[in-house]
């Protein structure tokens, strides 16, 4: 297959003005920080995340901007979203979820709700705009 050998797993992405969402079961990221909040949720398992220098399994985790972290899907299909920190969504996530903390592992009930919101975008194969509209509608219901 040459330079375009088959990827080791699946990947699908969506891009909106202040948000980016990718699904992967093979993404591995070395320690890094970025200017977006990162929200990750395992759809069928718990990926590994390194926070404060310690590796742990977390089905869902929200990481604030400029926080050093590493990530490994470790075979779990994972929705990984990045949200601009100064956007409306970014400000709400900081206030409601992080509450001054650099990161937060989310409980099972919240993780299940997130899977219900983002999982269909991976499964239905619909276009980016429809996925966003469905997510917005679910968040209002």
The average confidence (pLDDT) of the chain is: 82
Residue length of the chain: 141
Q: How many percent of the chain have pLDDT more than 90?
A: 61
Domains with residue ranges and CATH for the chain: 8-140 (2.60.120.10)
- The string of pLDDT tens digits covering residues 28-65 is 999 999 999 999 999 999 999 999 999 999 999 999 99
The residue among 140, 137, 122 whose CA lies nearest residue 14 is 122
Least confident of 88-92, 109-113, 116-120: 116-120
* 135 band by pLDDT with thresholds 50, 70 and 90: very low
- Yes or no: say if 25 and 46 are a contact pair by the CB < 8 Å rule: no
**CA pair distance 71, 60, nearest whole angstrom:** 12
The residue among 136, 113, 116, 129 whose CA lies nearest residue 14 is 129
Q: What is the pLDDT of residue 13?
A: 65
Collect contacts of 96-103 with beta carbons under 8 A, ≥24 apart: 97/62, 98/62, 98/64, 101/64, 102/51, 102/52, 102/63, 102/64, 102/67, 103/51, 103/61, 103/62, 103/63, 103/64, 103/67, 103/69
On the question of pLDDT at 101 being above 80, the answer is: yes
Q: What is the pLDDT of residue 73?
A: 94
pTM, two decimal places? 0.80
On the question of pLDDT at 141 being above 80, the answer is: no
Q: What is the pLDDT of residue 56?
A: 96
**CA pair distance 137, 42, nearest whole angstrom:** 22
């Amino acid at each position: 297959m040459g330079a375009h050998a088959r990827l080791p797993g699946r990947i699908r992405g969506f891009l909106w003005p202040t948000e980016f969402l990718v699904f992967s079961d093979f993404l591995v990221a070395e320690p890094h920080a970025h200017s977006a909040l990162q929200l990750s949720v395992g759809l069928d398992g718990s990926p590994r995340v390194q926070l404060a220098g310690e590796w742990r399994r977390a089905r869902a985790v929200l990481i604030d901007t400029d926080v050093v972290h590493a990530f490994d899907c470790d075979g779990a299909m994972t929705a990984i979203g990045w949200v601009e920190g100064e956007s409306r969504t970014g400000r709400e996530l900081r206030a409601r979820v992080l509450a001054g903390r650099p990161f937060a592992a989310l409980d099972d009930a919240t993780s299940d709700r997130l899977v219900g919101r983002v999982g269909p975008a991976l499964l239905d194969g619909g276009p980016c705009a429809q996925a966003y509209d469905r997510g917005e509608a679910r968040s209002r219901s």
